Every structure is written in C-alpha cells, then in structure tokens.
Amino acid sequence: MKQNFSPLPSGVWPPALTAFTPSGELDLPGNRALFEWYASAGVDGLFVSCLTGELNCLSIDEILQLNRLAVETAAGRFPVVGGVMPAAPTPETIAADVLRLAETGVAASVVLVSQLAAPEEDDDRLLANADRLLKLTGDLPLGLYECPKPYHRLLREKTLAELAATGRFVFFKDTCCDIGRIRERIRLVRGTPLRLFNANAATLLDSFRAGAGGYCGVGANYYPELFRLLWAHRDSEQAKKLQQFIATNDAMADLGRAYPVSAKYMAQLHRLPLSLRCRITERTIGDGDRQTLRQLGADAERLIRRFSANAVMETA
C-alpha cells in the first residue's frame, strides 16, 4: 500500500450550501459570507460542490468558481475538498474535471461513487474505472462520496478497502447509515490516508467513538458549533445529551425534504446575506416551517451555551 498523502484533519466538515441570487445566478458575495461563517464556527474542513451545494445543477465553470472562492476565503484556516459531476461520466471525463478542479487549490477532488459504475455494473467494473481514473490524474489526492444522485450506490467493504489501499484517496463521505458497516469500514481503511466522514446523525457519536474521521452531514449547516462540541467531547458521558438532541431533531431540520431551502433560511437567522433561491428544488417554506426553524435554532443555542459552560466548569 502506497501512502502518498497525509490524512486530512479530523472533525466537522460541513457539506457547503451554494448561495444563488434571487434570479438564480451564483451569488459570489453571498458564498464568501457563507464560507466565512463556516470559518467562524471553527469547522475543520469544508466539502464544496456536493449534493447539498446543488452539484447536479452546477456547471464545471461554476464548480471551479465556488471552490476557488472557498480556498481563498479559508486562507489556510481549514482545507477544502470539492466534488465533480460530469454529465456523461467516464474515467476520462471525470479525470478532466479533477485536473481542472485541482488547480483551484482544493485538498482533494471528490468523485461520486455512483459515477464510477452504472447501476447494472458490478464492483469489478467500478474498480477498473477507478484504476483508469487514477492513471489519468497523476498523483492528485482524491475523495469518494456515496452521493444519492444520480443513483445511491454504496461501496462494498472489500471495494472500499481496495480503493483506500491505493494511497490516493484521502476523503470518504459515508452514507450507509449502518453503524455495523461503519465500524467495519473504519477498521478496513486504518493505516491508509483515507478518513471516513459520517453523514448520518443517528449513528454519529458511535461512529466517532469507533474512530471515524468526523462528520460531514446536513446538520452542520444548522448549528455547526453543536457538532464541534460533540466531536471535542465525544469520549465524555455528557456527549450523549448532544447526540440525543442531534438525532431527535435531524428530521425536523429537513422539514420534509425542504432542505436546502430550510438551511438557507437558518443561514438568514445567522444574519448571512443569502437568498432562499435554490436550483435543486422550487419548494418554499411557510410561516409554520420558519417558526419551527427559529425554535430549533434557539434550542440549539441554549444547549451549546449550557454544555460549553459545564465543560468549562469541569476543566476548571
């Protein structure tokens, strides 16, 4: 096994929202403010141009703009990884986007697992396509994402281990939502540069304690500080209270698939200059939804203050 790269920082990696103007264009000032907000929350890294960021509605030029802006705004405070999603995915088209994205300064270019093989193709074909991709991208660091689009493909554990053993993959966004599989995946990639970032709120604390690299899920767009506390205090008994709040409110935050509109409204509550415009959905949120999100934000803020105060007292 070649170990070409140092592991990425562990911790909280929000899947970044993408800000659009009310007319649907990229809102560069809004995105800069958003990236700065992530930085102020103390995130450990950022996943730009992912499904949360409406990757399937972005052109490659927009992907490059966003990632370049994120890297500039981060200014070395945390690393950025970015996703690519060619309309006609082949190892060659994916590689072409990876090569362009690498020029923006991202720490890794993230490849969608579902673009490495068609639904009817087995993992042998996926591995063959991955091998071709590796050859076409020199020694660039890469990531893997079990993205639900264009279809939800989960890696077999043996396949993940083979990809990790190449030494080229440093980031893995896990969406299996199965703590048994997550534990096995963590065991299999140990000793490689690849870090597993769990996207699932229900299994989060257990995955942290099992050795996951951190969290990369939608909740980090509502109250990233809460996840930072969970990560920092993952070995404490008090962490169970944070986990309970996170798991209980995960579905409420989604508001019946109103995400990412709901997360953009929460960003407005944090005084970010974002419109609610999304390309991925035309859904809006009503007054009742807004009240739910305001209450959720207030409850999270109280929990953050209370937990932080108790943590200070325990260490005094």
Q: Is 175 annotated as a binding residue?
A: no
Terminal C-alpha separation, the chain: 45
Q: Which amino acid is at 52?
A: T
Task: Find out whether 57 and 17 touch, Cβ atoms under 8 Å.
Answer: no
- What's the order of all strands across the beta sheet hosting 214-215? 11-12, 214-215, 195-198, 169-174, 142-145, 108-112, 80-84, 46-48
Pairwise CA distance, residues 79 & 101, whole Å:
14
Q: Are strands 108-112 and 214-215 parallel, antiparallel or unpaired?
A: unpaired
Task: Find out whether 84 and 98 touch, Cβ atoms under 8 Å.
Answer: yes
- The catalytic site residues sit at 145, 173
Task: Specify binding-site residues for pyruvate.
Answer: 52
